[in-house]
Amino acid sequence: MASCAVFGGSDPRAEVSSAVFALTPAESKRLIAKGVANLPEVKAALQKGRVVIATGSTTGYVAEEILGRQFERKKFLSGHIFDGLLCAMGDHPALYPFVIIDGQVIDVPPEDILPDFEATDVFIKSANAVDINGHAGVLMANELGGTIGMALGILTSRGANLIVPVGMEKMIPSVTEASRRLGTRRVKYGLESAALEGKIGLMPLVTATVITEVTALHRLCDVEVFHIASGGIGGSEGSVVLLIEGKEENVQSALSLIKEIKGEPPFGRPY
């Protein structure tokens, strides 16, 4: 006799639909970007307020979703990992962070408007690491802390919105433990790469709103999302495999979204 008959009920999973799929890193970035653009605090600040989109590979996708147009994402980078090395943009042409005030892109550097930030304003910065506790971390080669070092004190003291989009290909055991062990003057050796010696620190962002593939899908489609596998070959390196569960109509909505972003081209070589 089935256990459900013993207890006089039905299997609760019978009313739950589900689906499983893989996302490449580029597809993940596009999904995460859509999730960030849909956040209520982002929408509100775009209507009336200040939004800064800092440079980064994932924030490039976020900028496209928010601005509604494409641009040279390969120039919208800061520190990155490329050709198996820790790299900075160095002498390569680069774009600067987008500063948006009341929905209009303004040609000023972020440091000019950060002193005016209110609690309802938004700063978007992608990360290099995320852990199972939902803490994100940003690598820093700049000994003054770079972009995040410039902004974090103001954002934290004023309670402003720090939004951190990061894919689960960047999952590590503990951001805080990694941060304790790193430092440009703590690490003894580093492989030299563009404009830096591979010696880095890691800024833990424990108060940020972290948006991964899981949180993006959950917020966009009201489904439960489970990270069940990772990896791949032949251009799918860094992929994540997700299981979603929920009401049939919500699962179908999520699948429609996934089909829309499927085939997102790889980021490619930045230079």
Tokens of 27: 């597809």
128 compared with 86, residue with greater pLDDT:
128
**Is the Cβ–Cβ distance between 194 and 87 less than 8 Å?**
yes
Give SS3 for 186.
coil
**154-183: pLDDT as tens digits:** 999 999 999 999 999 999 999 999 999 999
Tokens of 11: 């299997």
Nearest to 168 by CA among 204, 100, 216: 216
Residue 9 pLDDT greater than 60, yes or no: no
Distance of CA 271 to the CA centre of its chain: 22
Task: Please name every residue paired with 126 in a beta bridge, in sequence order, or none if there are none.
Answer: none
Stated as kind and residue range, the H or E segment containing 216 is helix 213-221
Mean pLDDT of 210-226: 98
> Which pLDDT band holds residue 4 (cuts at 50, 70, 90)?
very low
Cβ count near 134 (within 10 Å):
15
pLDDT of residue 93: 64
Edge-first strand listing for the sheet containing 104-106: 104-106, 98-101, 50-53, 122-124, 161-165, 209-211
What is the DSSP secondary structure assignment for residue 196, as one 8-state letter? B
**Is the Cβ–Cβ distance between 50 and 269 less than 8 Å?**
no
What are the chain's domains?
A: 27-212 (3.40.50)
How far is the C-alpha of 168 from the C-alpha of 11, rounded, in Å?
32
DSSP 23-77: E-HHHHHHHHHHHHHT-HHHHHHHHSSEEEE--SHHHHHHHHHHHTS---GGGS-
Mean pLDDT of 13-39: 94
Tokens of 223: 């489904």
**Is the Cβ–Cβ distance between 179 and 194 less than 8 Å?**
no
**Is the Cβ–Cβ distance between 268 and 83 less than 8 Å?**
no
Which residue carries 């775009």 as its tokens? Answer: 46
How far is the C-alpha of 123 from the C-alpha of 101, rounded, in Å?
12
C-alpha R_g of the chain:
20
> Which pLDDT band holds residue 7 (cuts at 50, 70, 90)?
very low
> Which pLDDT band holds residue 144 (cuts at 50, 70, 90)?
confident
